[in-house]
Amino acid sequence: MEIPKPKVTIKPDQHVFRGETVTLRCDIDGEGVTSWQYSWYKNGSANAFSELQEHTFSPVTESDAGKYSCYGAEREGSCISNISDAVTLIVSDTAAAVLSVSPQKWLTEGDPVTLICEVYGSSTGWTFNWYTVTLSSGRNSSDQYALLSDSSRGAGGNYIVSSAALKHTGVYVCTAERGQPAYKTAFSSKQQLWVTGVSPPVSLIISPNRTQHFNLVSVSLSCEDQSNSDRWRVRSYTDHWGLEDCSSSVWGSQTGSTCKISSTVPSNTGVYWCQSESGENYHPVNITVHIGVILESPVHPVTEGDTLTLHCLYPYTSPPNLRADFYKDGSLIQNQTTEMIISNVSKSHEGFYYCKHSERGESPKSWISVRVSHSESQISVLHTLSSVLAVCPYLLVTVVLIFKCCRMRVHWPLTFRYFRRNG
The pLDDT assigned to 151 comes to: 65
Q: Looking at the domain assignment, is residue 362 inside a domain? A: yes
Give the Cα separation of 131 and 129 in Å (integer).
7
Do residue 216 and residue 344 come from a single domain?
Answer: yes
Mean pLDDT score of the chain: 84
Of the residues 333, 351, 371, which one is the last residue of a structural domain? 371
Angle in degrees, CA 143, 230, 193, rounded to 5: 40
73 and 115 within one domain: no
Q: Can you give the pLDDT at residue 97? A: 93
With respect to residue 376, please indicate whether it lies within any of the assigned structural domains.
no
Whether 157 and 294 share a structural domain: no
Task: Return d(Cα 284, Cα 106) in angstroms, integer.
Answer: 9
Which structural domain range is residue 416 located in? 383-423
Q: Is 378 inside a domain boundary?
A: no
Please confirm whether the linkage preceding 364 is cis (ω < 30° from 0). no
Low-confidence ranges of the chain (pLDDT < 50): 137-139, 375-423
Encoded amino acid at 342, one letter: I
Residues 366 and 224 grouped into a single domain: yes
- Closest of 298, 316, 319 to residue 361, by C-alpha: 316
The per-residue pLDDT for 413 is 46
Structure confidence at residue 62 (pLDDT) = 96
Which pLDDT score is estimated for 423?
46
Would residue 350 count as lying in a domain?
A: yes
pTM (predicted TM-score): 0.70
Specify if 2 maps to a domain. no
Examine the domain organization and report whether 150 and 173 are in the same domain.
yes
DSSP state of 75: T
Q: Residue 377: inside a domain, yes or no?
A: no
**Alpha carbon 367 to chain centroid, angstroms:** 16
Residues 183 and 298 occupy one common structural domain: no
* Confidence (pLDDT) at 208: 95
CATH number for position 234 = 2.60.40.10
Q: Structurally, how many domains does the chain consist of? A: 4
CA distance 264 to 252: 9
Q: Are 261 and 268 in contact (CB under 8 A)?
A: yes
Same domain, yes or no: 254 and 362: yes
Which among 205, 371, 195, 212 has a CA at the least distance from the CA of 297? 212
Final residue of a structural domain among 70, 92, 114: 92
DSSP 230-273: S--EEEEEETTTEEEEGGG-SS-EEETTEEEESS--GGG-EEEE
Give the span between the Cα atoms of 362 and 339, in whole angstroms.
Answer: 16
Do 227 and 142 reside in the same domain of the chain?
no
**Domain boundary residue among 327, 349, 371?**
371
How far separated are the first and last CA of the chain, in Å rounded?
A: 106
pLDDT tens for 260-314 read 999 999 999 999 999 888 888 888 898 999 999 999 999 988 999 999 999 999 9
Q: Are residues 226 and 318 in the same domain?
A: yes
Clarify whether residues 236 and 333 are in a common domain.
Answer: yes
Beta-carbon contacts of 414 under 8 Å, excluding residues fewer than 6 positions away, are none
Provide the Cα torsion 83, 63, 117, 240; round to 10°: -170
Helix (H) or strand (E) holding 171: strand 170-178
User: Quick one: 82 and 159 in the same domain?
Assistant: no
In a domain, residue 1? The reply is no
Q: Encode burial over 404-419: b for 16+ CB neighbours within 10 A, e otherwise.
A: eeeeeeeeeeeeeeee
Rounded Cα gap, residues 306 and 288, in angstroms: 25
How many degrees, rounded to 5, is the angle at CA 68 between CA 48 and CA 59? Answer: 90
Residues 362 and 250 placed together within one structural domain of the fold: yes
Please tell me the predicted confidence (pLDDT) of residue 379.
Answer: 38
